[in-house]
Structure formats: structure tokens, C-alpha cells
Structure 1
Amino acid sequence: MLSTCSTPCCPNSPAAVSSSPEKTPASRREIIAWAFYDFANSGYTTVVLTTIYSAYFVGVVATELDSGQPGAATLLWTLAISAANLIVLVSGPIIGAIADFRASKKHFLLLSSILCIASTAMLAGAAPGQVALAVVLVTISSVAFASGENLIAAFLPEIASSDNMGRISGYGWSLGYFGGLLTLGCCLAYINYATGQGLAADHYVPVCLVLTAVIFAITATPTFLWLRERAVPRPPAAGITWLGAGLAQVKHTLGHARNLPDLFRFLLCIILFQAGVATVVVIAAIYAQEVMQFNSQQLIVLIMVVNLTAAVGAFLFGFMQDHFGSVNSLAGALLVWIAAIAVALQAESQTDVWLAGNLIGLAMGATQAGGRALIGQLTPPSHNGEIFGLWGLANRSAAIIGPISYGLINRIGGGDHQLSLISTLTFFVAGLLLLFTVNEQRGQAAAKNIS
């Protein structure tokens, strides 16, 4: 609903609704509470999508699929994650728009968190060979996780100004990586205990999933206690449902893309470089296990160190972004990504993987924090949920395109992971080229002119 209509009878006009979020400054406690959601949900993406469960799914749950068709298990994993992202691609902007109308982002965030926590815990019950059950639960948990990411990001423009948005976004991502470290550390401690008792992965991986769900539930609590909903409810016109109003708002937003060219150009840029990021997130453990022969403990230690590197990258990048500008800083981060993938392609030893992994960590923290902050700077007031729904749509599109490209190339190439990695490198190069066409000052000015 990026409308400039001023007619009082128009339900989307400034005269008809009072939609601007309350602009009272956020307290330090509230900013920490917001950032703690990144801390809480990072355990899910680190354990389920990146490190432990992805490798367990390919190597244990669905291993029989690879016996006759090499690469089939990896393809199925990427298809499951892509299906989840397709669902969020469609639902994210609609949920965001409805949340804007109802001023209920926090309510939707709570529901998505409960669903993610519950389905992650239930995933522990999917035994080796129960591929269908595992795929369904991974899909549900991933949908809930991604929906929560959209919703928590939509609070950012309400608690930060354009002057400190980069720093606050960086705080969140940086704290998030420490959340991933906490969950991974607990899992590693249990895995070491279990292997010392002679227990196999089909015992300790389910326990790790339960640990992940419990840590998520506990550490998300500050968010729901202290984060305020500043948006003002905007009841739809008579005879129009919340869903209808949400769909109409998204349609109106897309119809006014020409008024926000830099915002929509950057959304396209996000699709490209996040396709590479998403691929690394869901494939990293599989690549390290299948190509470089990492075992579970080695893999967890690697990801823990990478999380530390990513936390440093996110924290420092927030300051760089506010000082040097978002586009210049993001360009530097994408160049680090390109270097990291190039190192991984030439890797001949585990030392090479460690180098590539830590470069990825630095770049991961920078691009994740930077992309979210720049979207916040280009977002018109009172459209936070809606635009961050579109941001989520861009991320979800990327998370479909990137992993499926990798999975298909891997399947066609008979399990050749290095061939698949070339497509990932291409996404980063294309994203960098498009980024140079984004003018952030012009985009910020355009956002201020949209009602």
C-alpha cells in the first residue's frame, strides 16, 4: 500500500488511517530483547539447516536413496528446504501486510516461534529410513523459522533510526552467532559424551534436536517480555477481511515499484547474492562431510569457530556500514564471499576448508546484517511489516533458487560437489554487479515521500 492518495474515502489514504509507528526511542533493554531473538533462533539454523541435521539426513536418514542414485539424498534435502521457502515466499508478504493492519507483528512472531520449536522437537522422532516424516517436519520447522525472521526484522525500523540502524542490525546478527555457538556447544558436549559411551548418531542427533528446541524456547523469552509493538492498528474498510486487506496492500506495493526503484533493485540484488548464501547454509556440512571427510565433532568445531568469525564480521560491519555507507560496505563483503568460494573450489586439505570457512564467516555476518539494515533504510514509514515481508520474499526466492541449483547440478553430475559450487560463485558475482546500480541516498529520499 504505497499510495499517495489523499482522498478521505480511500481506505489506504493518510486521512483514513493513522498508520505511522510510534517513534518513542527504544530503551537499551528493548534493543537487547529484540536482538535476543536472533540469539534464540540461530540455534535452529545452525544445528538443523547447517551443521548436524543436514549431514545426518543425507548420511543416515535418507542414505538408502544414494545407494542406487548418487546425489539423490542431497537433492531431496535441497528440495525440502526449497519447498519451505516457496511457502514463505507466498505467505510472507501477506502475513506482513496483515500484521501491519492489525499491529500484531509480535503475535504472529510468537505463533511462528511455537511452531518452529515444536516441529524441531518432533523431528527427533524421525528414525533412519523415515524419510517422508523427516521431510515434512523439516519443511514445517523451516517455514516457521523463516516467517519468524521476517517478523523480527520488521521491528528494526521501529527501534532504530537511519543513523544507527546498521549498528543495531549488526548487534542482532552478532548476538545471533553467539546463540548458535551456545547451542552447538551444548550439542558437542553431548555428542562427545554419547560417542564415549559407544552410542551412534541415531541416538545423539535426536537429543541435539531436543536441546535446540529447548534453548530456542528459553532464550526467546526476553523478546516477548520486553519488545514493544509500536505500530498503530488500521482496520480495513467495511466488508473487507484482514486477509483481503493484506492481499490488496501487497498488490498495491508491487504496483508502485516504480516509485521506489532502488528498494526493488536491491530486493533483486538480495535474491542473487542470498541464493549463494542460502546454498552455503544448507550445503556446508554436506560438502565438508562428503568431500573433505570431516566427522561430526570436527564439523561442529569448524562451525563454532566460523560462528565466532561471523559474530565479529556482523559487529564490525554495522559500524562500517554507518560510516562508509551500505552499498560500499556490502560490496566489500561480497568480494570476501567470492574469495571464500574460490578457496573452497581449490581446496585440497582440511586446512583449506578452515580458511574458506572463516572467510565465509566474516562475509556471512556482514551480508546478513547489512542487507537487513539497508532494507530498513529504504522502507517507507508505516510499511515495515509489508516491506520486510517482501525482503523475506526475496530471501525465500534466493533460498529456493540457490539450493535447488546446487542439488540439480550435483544430481546431474553424479554427486560432483565442486561442479555444483561453481553455480554458487556465479550468484555472488551477479549480485555484486547489480549492487553497484543501487543508490542508497536516492532510495532513502524516495521512501520519505511515500505515505
Structure 2
Amino acid sequence: MEQAVAEQAPPSSTRRERTGWYFYDWANSAFSTTVITVFLGPYLTSIAETAAGCSDDACDTAVIHPLGIPIAPGALFPYTVSLSVFLTVFVLPVVGAIADRSPRKKQLLALFAYIGAAATAGMLFLTGDRYLLGAGLFLLANIAFGASVVVYNSFLPQIAAEADRDRVSSFGWAWGYLGGGLLLLVNVAAVLLKSKLGLSTGEVARYSIVSAGVWWAGFTTIPLLTLRNRPVTDPEAAAAAGNVLTGGFRQLWHTLKGLKVYPLTLFFLVAYLIYNDGIQTVISLASQYGTKELHLDDSVLVPTILMVQFLAFAGALLLGRLARAIGAWKTVLVSLVLWTLVILVAFFLPARQAVPFVILGGAIGLVLGGSQALSRSLFSQLIPKGKEGEYFGIYEISDKGTSWLGPLLFGLAYDMTRSYRVAIVSLLVFFIAGFVALAAVPIRRAIEQAGNTPPAKL
């Protein structure tokens, strides 16, 4: 695969640089996997339940009051995810515009990556009833995470030619799932051996969250050593490069106005926003659903999610191959049909039975990585040259665990019904509406409209 990538990559890109680029997926996926997907949801919920003075079997009427607002303890994490993404709506497109105007993208990547990693490691102090500390650190970490991925994604059109981006993007996602899975493997071992280690479930969760921050910071060093900065290519951005901050805000406004020149790119963004909200909500709240609704022990839940990570590695490569056969657009549509089936099956899963949950986890793993990787490569074809950062800033608003409509709907559904099953099945609307919207995008014309050359198969 990598040899094929090298054949069609732009002359200015080297295999060493692309390998370094893959490693940022390896580094930051620890945050997605260990923090968002597995440990923080149940752990922060337990902290909130402690603050509310309730136990697992007596929380139906308990409330907490963050900033004076009464909410159910179980709704704190989805609401926090939703708030973090609401804030990124204002932050990430500006970060992207700044990245396009700066000849120091690599330094921007370092800034946001290390801020996010530090906030994650700071959860070492998340104990007792300090749910506001946990929510605040997660807000900072998730926003910094999204900002770093905006800069990271903007390198993709610079290191891979149009015809090869599906493979490069898929390999990056696969590498990320492998890295996130390896750290989670260590944390799974800690969960299974917690009694021998003399640790409680909460302590294992907290130390696992901290380990993701250390992993993120440590492996970010590799892309910082191998990626190289490039001159600003957009004439307007180059002219304003002397003041990247104010220029970034101005360019964001021009970008939003300029989207009317590329209406099909905007159409794709709307479709992606819809269906990826559903995907990201499933990722970020799966462990909470398994713990609180299905009453599964960590010894079942965590190894299953670990299995999902390694299957997602294989799934990203598998769907990448399918995309080469039938096209990336069609492959993503197929994946959305599979996601719809996943939600329906999740609604009917029996409580306290591990085998059905493990089987469903396997299905999620096979479809997860490919649907995300191919969406990224498709979008890279819809960006006018020289505007990668600002367009990926808009794209990243709903990517990699930073959705907000899904967690908001999930939180509202649970708050009103106190049923996680109702909350999970409410997510069907995102996959059905997203499929319809994506199917309506004339993808070949959209790529040509952005001034790019469409691949042979879409």
C-alpha cells in the first residue's frame, strides 16, 4: 500500500513525511479511544452522581447544578460534549484560516496538541465530587484536540495527490486506530488486574485518562520532527500572512461568504455534519450506554471496545479497498446503511448479556474507520487549492468525537425519559437523513466545481 502511495504523491512529499503524518493519528487517537470512548463518560458520570449524593441504583430523581442549572448526573457528559463542540463552531474555522495564512503550520500543530495533552493529563486531579473540574478540563482538551486535527488534516492535500488521497487517508485512520488500541490494551490489562494492583475502578479510570495525555504528548514529537512547513499558496492569504490572527478572522468571514461559490461543497458539508454527528455520538457515549443501560462490567465493556479499535484498523483498510473498486462516495453510503442497522440492534440488546454486545462491537469496528477516512478524503477533493486549513476548520466542527447535535439530542432524550434506550434510538435520524443528503450530492460535479480532478471511480 505505502509503495503505491509513494508513486502518486506530490514530488514535494516524501515517504518519511507521510509516515510522520500518520503518527499524529497514532498520537491523538489515544484521546478519542481511552478518554472519550471508554473512560471519561462513566467516570465523570460517577463523579457527578457522587456530587448529587446518589448511588447507581438510586439516581432517578437526583440532580446536580453546574452553573446553577439543574440536570441529571447522567446527562452531564453528553451536555459537556455538546458545549465543547458549540464552542468549536467559533474556534476551529478561525484556526483553519490562521493555518492557511501561516508558514508555520507545524508549530500550530504543536501548540494545540500540547495544550490538549496537558489538559488531559490534568485529570489526575479529578477526584471526589469535582465534576466541574472534569467538565472544564474536557472542554479545553476537546477544543484543543479539534484545533490540532484541523491543522493536521490541512497537510493531506499537500502530501498526497488527488487520486491517492483515499489510500493515504485510510492508512492514517487505520494507523490511528492501531495506536489508540495499543494504549487501550494496556489500560484493559489494568482494568482486569485492578485488584492485584490494589486499585479501585475509579483509580484505574483516572490513571488511564492521564495515560492518554502522556501518550498524546509523547508521540506528537514524531510528526513535529518529520513534517515540514510550506509557503502560503493562496495569494490572498499570502498577502495577509504578516498578521495571521486578524487575517484569520477576516478570512473566516470571506470563507463563509465564499461557500456560495461552491454550493456543492456546502451541500456535502451539511450531509457530513448530519451523519457524522450520529457516528461521533455513538463513539463518545457507547461506554456510558453499556455501563448504565446494559449493566455490563468493565471486564466486558473495555475489552470489547479494545476489540473495536483493532477491527477498525482492519475495517479502514478494507473499506479503502472497497472504495478503489466502487468509489469512496458509494462506499460511505453503504457504511451509513450499516450504521442504521447498528442503532436498531443496539436498541434491542438485552441487559447483562455480554455476547450480543461483543458481536455488535465487532460490526461497529468493521464499519467505523472506513466511513470516517473516506469522508475526509472525499472532502479534500472539494476544497479549492490553498484553502485547506480554513475548509478543514469548518469540516472539523463535526469530526472525531466533536459532534454536538447528537450528544444534545441524546442528553435531552435521557433527561426527559431517564431511558438510555430511547436516547440511543433517537440517533437514527442522523443516519437516515445523512444518507439521503449524501446520496443527493452530485459528487463528480462538486469536485470539478472546486477546481480539482475527480478520481475515475466515485
TM over 0.5: yes
Counterpart of 2:392 (choices 388, 393, 396) is 388
Does structure 1 conserve the Cα–Cα contact (< 8 Å) formed by 2:398 and 2:404?
no
Find the aligned partners of 1:237 and 1:55 in 2 and give their Cα distance.
46
Shift of 1:431: 0.2
* Amino acid of the structure 1 residue aligned with 2:34: V
Does structure 1 conserve the Cα–Cα contact (< 8 Å) formed by 2:79 and 2:408?
yes
Shift of 1:371: 1.0
Shift of 1:369: 0.3
Counterpart of 2:62 (choices 58, 69, 88) is 69
Q: Does 1:38 align with 2:25?
A: yes
Partner of 1:407: 411
Mean Cα displacement is larger for which, 66-75 or 33-42?
A: 66-75
Shift of 1:198: 4.1
Find the aligned partners of 1:396 and 1:313 in 2 and give their Cα distance.
17
Does structure 2 conserve the Cα–Cα contact (< 8 Å) formed by 1:124 and 1:205?
no
Does structure 2 conserve the Cα–Cα contact (< 8 Å) formed by 1:33 and 1:222?
yes
Shift of 1:103: 2.5
Partner of 1:250: 252
Partner of 1:329: 331
Does structure 1 conserve the Cα–Cα contact (< 8 Å) formed by 2:84 and 2:402?
no
Partner of 1:369: 373
Find the aligned partners of 1:325 and 1:172 in 2 and give their Cα distance.
18
Does structure 2 conserve the Cα–Cα contact (< 8 Å) formed by 1:119 and 1:137?
yes
* Amino acid of the structure 1 residue aligned with 2:200: A
> Considering only aligned residues, what root-mean-square deviation do their CA atoms show, in Å?
2.2
* Amino acid of the structure 2 residue aligned with 1:178: L
Within 5 A, what are the aligned runs for 1:128-277?
128-232=128-232, 234-237=237-240, 241-277=243-279
* Per-residue CA distance 1:234-284 (angstroms, 9 max, x = gap): 44459x843332122222222222321221111001111011112112210
Q: Compared with structure 1, are the counterparts of its residues 88 and 171 closer, same or farther at alpha carbon in structure 2 (3 Å cutoff)?
A: same
* Per-residue CA distance 1:104-161 (angstroms, 9 max, x = gap): 3221110111111111111111102111111111111111111112211111111111
Does structure 1 conserve the Cα–Cα contact (< 8 Å) formed by 2:173 and 2:369?
yes
Find the aligned partners of 2:121 and 2:150 in 1 and give their Cα distance.
22
Partner of 2:16: 29
* Per-residue CA distance 1:382-414 (angstroms, 9 max, x = gap): 11101101111344997111001001110100x
Does structure 1 conserve the Cα–Cα contact (< 8 Å) formed by 2:26 and 2:175?
yes
- Stretches of structure 1 lacking an aligned partner (at least 5 in a row): 1-21
Shift of 1:439: 1.7
Find the aligned partners of 2:211 and 2:344 in 1 and give their Cα distance.
35
* Amino acid of the structure 1 residue aligned with 2:250: A
Within 5 A, what are the aligned runs for 1:6-155?
23-65=10-52, 67=59, 68-69=61-62, 72-155=72-155
Mean Cα displacement is larger for which, 289-298 or 326-335?
A: 289-298
Does structure 1 conserve the Cα–Cα contact (< 8 Å) formed by 2:34 and 2:209?
yes
* Amino acid of the structure 2 residue aligned with 1:440: I
Partner of 1:11: none
* Per-residue CA distance 1:157-176 (angstroms, 9 max, x = gap): 11111111001000011011
Q: Compared with structure 1, are the counterparts of its residues 350 and 245 closer, same or farther at alpha carbon in structure 2 (3 Å cutoff)?
A: same
* Amino acid of the structure 2 residue aligned with 1:291: E
Does structure 1 conserve the Cα–Cα contact (< 8 Å) formed by 2:146 and 2:402?
no
Counterpart of 2:430 (choices 423, 427, 430) is 427
* Amino acid of the structure 1 residue aligned with 2:295: Q
Partner of 1:14: none
Does structure 1 conserve the Cα–Cα contact (< 8 Å) formed by 2:86 and 2:404?
yes
Paired positions, count? 427
Partner of 2:342: 340
Partner of 1:310: 312
The 3-state SS of whatever aligns with 2:161 is coil
Find the aligned partners of 1:220 and 1:82 in 2 and give their Cα distance.
26
Find the aligned partners of 2:243 and 2:224 in 1 and give their Cα distance.
27
Identity level (%): 29
Shift of 1:83: 1.6
* Amino acid of the structure 1 residue aligned with 2:226: W
The 3-state SS of whatever aligns with 1:266 is helix
The 3-state SS of whatever aligns with 1:399 is coil
Does structure 1 conserve the Cα–Cα contact (< 8 Å) formed by 2:32 and 2:401?
no
Does structure 1 conserve the Cα–Cα contact (< 8 Å) formed by 2:47 and 2:127?
no
Within 5 A, what are the aligned runs for 1:347-366?
347-348=349-350, 349-366=353-370
Find the aligned partners of 1:194 and 1:355 in 2 and give their Cα distance.
26
Find the aligned partners of 1:392 and 1:257 in 2 and give their Cα distance.
16
Find the aligned partners of 1:190 and 1:114 in 2 and give their Cα distance.
25
Shift of 1:204: 2.0
Counterpart of 2:280 (choices 278, 297, 318) is 278
Find the aligned partners of 1:244 and 1:220 in 2 and give their Cα distance.
28
Find the aligned partners of 1:249 and 1:128 in 2 and give their Cα distance.
45
Find the aligned partners of 2:175 and 2:400 in 1 and give their Cα distance.
23
Does structure 2 conserve the Cα–Cα contact (< 8 Å) formed by 1:62 and 1:131?
no
Counterpart of 2:300 (choices 298, 301, 305) is 298
- Stretches of structure 2 lacking an aligned partner (at least 5 in a row): 1-8, 64-70, 454-458
Does structure 2 conserve the Cα–Cα contact (< 8 Å) formed by 1:166 and 1:319?
no
* Amino acid of the structure 1 residue aligned with 2:128: P
Find the aligned partners of 1:424 and 1:124 in 2 and give their Cα distance.
32
